[in-house]
Amino acid sequence: MKNITIVGAQWGDEGKGKIVDHLCSKFDVVLRFQGGHNAGHTIVTGKDKFILSILPSGLIRNKLCIIGSGVVIDPVHFLKEIDLLRKRKIKISQRNLKIANNASILLPFHSIIDQVREKRLSKKKIGTTGRGIGPCYEDKIARRGLKIYDLEDTNVLKTRLKNLIDFHNIFLKNLSEKKISFNETFKLLVSLRKKILPFSIDVSEFINSKFFFKKKLLFEGAQGLMLDIDHGTFPFVTSSNTIPATAATSIGIKPSKIGHILGVLKSYTTRVGEGPFPTEIKSDIGLEIAKNGNEFGSVTNRPRRCGWFDAVQCRKAIQIAGIDSIALTKIDVLDNFKKIKICYQYKNGKKKIHFMPSSNKILNNVKPVYLTVDGWCANTTGIKNKKSLPQKAQRFIKIIEKLINTPIVFLSNGPDRNDIINLRKID
């Protein structure tokens, strides 16, 4: 199998972690390329359940894992997550976990700023996790943020941290909020630097070395394509680019090395937070899907809004990401529905729309046009091959495949890591 990049092709929470876990045994390295600890990957192994938010999912399989420069790293949370996994007998050391020395550092005050803005300044909430991801990315783009390598020299760290805190204290003072303490923050970073720096390397130099010339790489995305800062439902998006092209930038490799692009889709649609959602179900059916699918954020525990599968949205995701094939997840959640709907186009007044518009004004006014199919009303969990699936479930899969014009290669039919059917080989 060639190199592969795995991305969520909806608004996140599609089950990327499970697909990474399923595939990574065939790869040498797993690389996380964007986002922060606002992204949750859940892996269920028998009675064990692992929830990762900053560490790559490949650690559960004891793979070499790398976090790229496109990720913002909260050092406190990073070390805490390592400790939690070590307590559960997962081996983690600088041998199997490495972070980019030019990745941005997310500090405790970033979350304070995030929460203050959401509560006091936004007339309409975006629906952030409040974990400081946005403010940290802002500091990166404004060239005032801290990098992992700034921890190497305490004099450099002191100067850069003071400038950063002085900038943010102007904002907090204007809102009569408590100012950030330089001494407390500096002391925290000094106490953590010797624990963080052993994991730190020049990722581009490392991954482009001769040692990796014939190694197989698996790139792991976070969030979903519809939350991409450029191509998503702006401003109700995350603060990073979630599209696969970001992997090359974050790791520092040739774009051609990101390989085959696998998009992960749920058999229905969900999103967390605010923003347009054409196929959202606001009746008891939506609540039933949420209950069946345990649709609560693995990191934040926030309830997810639920809706029917949206082929219009998926076609856009496939185009902007260059998706080659699909992993379809959570088909078991629909096992008990007599009728299932699939959105195949939108209507805006009398106008038919086959491609998801970028404008939120238009998107908020469109009406989904549905194809209604018979449900299979049978248990799909535990089935190991496509031919054993109920005929109506097979028809559902074929309809989706035809509407999005992309092959479905994997089908997830339960929460456990072994509840996956290989439908066909990846080209």
The pLDDT value recorded for residue 208 is: 95
Phi (first) and psi of residue 392, to 5 degrees? -70, -30
To the nearest 10°, the Cα dihedral for 279, 283, 287, 288?
-90
The pLDDT value recorded for residue 123 is: 58
Confidence check: pLDDT of 49 > 80: no
Q: Which residues are designated catalytic?
A: 13, 41
pLDDT tier at 232, thresholds 50, 70, 90: very high
Q: Same domain for 357 and 290?
A: yes
50: in domain: yes
The pLDDT value recorded for residue 176 is: 77
278: in domain: yes
Note the pLDDT tens digit of each residue in 166-190: 999 998 888 778 899 999 999 999 9
The pLDDT value recorded for residue 261 is: 98
Q: How many domains does the chain have?
A: 3
427: in domain: no
The pLDDT value recorded for residue 114 is: 86
Confidence check: pLDDT of 387 > 80: yes
Note the pLDDT tens digit of each residue in 294-337: 897 655 667 889 999 999 999 999 999 999 999 999 999 999 99
**Average pLDDT for the chain:** 92
C-alpha 361: how far from chain center: 26
Pick from 177, 197, 217: which residue ends a domain? 197
67: in domain: yes
Q: What's the average model confidence in pLDDT over 2-13?
A: 95
90: in domain: yes
Range of the domain at 232: 4-101+200-261
Angle made by CA atoms 91, 221, 157, in degrees to the nearest 5: 70
Confidence check: pLDDT of 48 > 80: no
Confidence check: pLDDT of 45 > 80: no
Share of the chain above pLDDT 70, in %: 95
Does residue 71 contact residue 35 with C-beta atoms inside 8 Å? Answer: yes
Q: Same domain for 21 and 36?
A: yes
Q: What's the average model confidence in pLDDT over 403-418?
A: 95
Residue among 396, 376, 411, 70 at smallest CA distance from 245: 70
Q: Same domain for 109 and 19?
A: no
Rounded Cα distance between 376 and 89, Å, is: 41
Q: Same domain for 282 and 390?
A: yes
Q: Same domain for 151 and 243?
A: no
Model confidence, pTM = 0.93
167: in domain: yes
Domain containing 142 — which CATH number? 1.10.300.10
Does residue 331 contact residue 411 with C-beta atoms inside 8 Å? Answer: yes
Q: Same domain for 246 and 307?
A: no
Q: What's the average model confidence in pLDDT over 370-399?
A: 96
Q: Same domain for 191 and 139?
A: yes
Range of weakest confidence among 123-137, 358-372, 384-398: 123-137
Range of weakest confidence among 54-58, 219-223, 234-238: 54-58
Q: Same domain for 304 and 381?
A: yes
Domain containing 372 — which CATH number? 3.90.170.10
Q: Same domain for 370 and 288?
A: yes
Pick from 159, 175, 197: which residue ends a domain? 197
Task: For residue 91, give Cα distances in angstroms to 1, 63, 388, 392.
Answer: 26, 10, 38, 44
Rounded Cα distance between 164 and 175, Å, is: 18
Beta bridge partners of 400: none
Note the pLDDT tens digit of each residue in 366-378: 999 999 999 999 9
Q: What's the average model confidence in pLDDT over 227-255?
A: 95
Residue among 104, 94, 160, 167 at smallest CA distance from 137: 104
Share of the chain above pLDDT 90, in %: 77
Rounded Cα distance between 65 and 33, Å, is: 11
pLDDT tier at 127, thresholds 50, 70, 90: low
95 three-state secondary structure: coil
The pLDDT value recorded for residue 46 is: 67
Confidence check: pLDDT of 17 > 90: no
Q: Same domain for 86 and 159?
A: no
pLDDT tier at 62, thresholds 50, 70, 90: confident
Beta bridge partners of 205: none
Q: Same domain for 377 and 287?
A: yes
The pLDDT value recorded for residue 115 is: 86
The pLDDT value recorded for residue 171 is: 87
Q: Same domain for 181 and 306?
A: no
Domain containing 36 — which CATH number? 3.40.440.10
Pick from 156, 178, 197: which residue ends a domain? 197
Q: Which residues contact 246 (CB under 8 A, 6 or more apart)?
A: 33, 34, 70, 221, 240
Does residue 234 contact residue 133 with C-beta atoms inside 8 Å? Answer: no
Rounded Cα distance between 238 and 35, Å, is: 8
Residue 63, H or E segment? none
Residue 113, H or E segment? helix 108-116
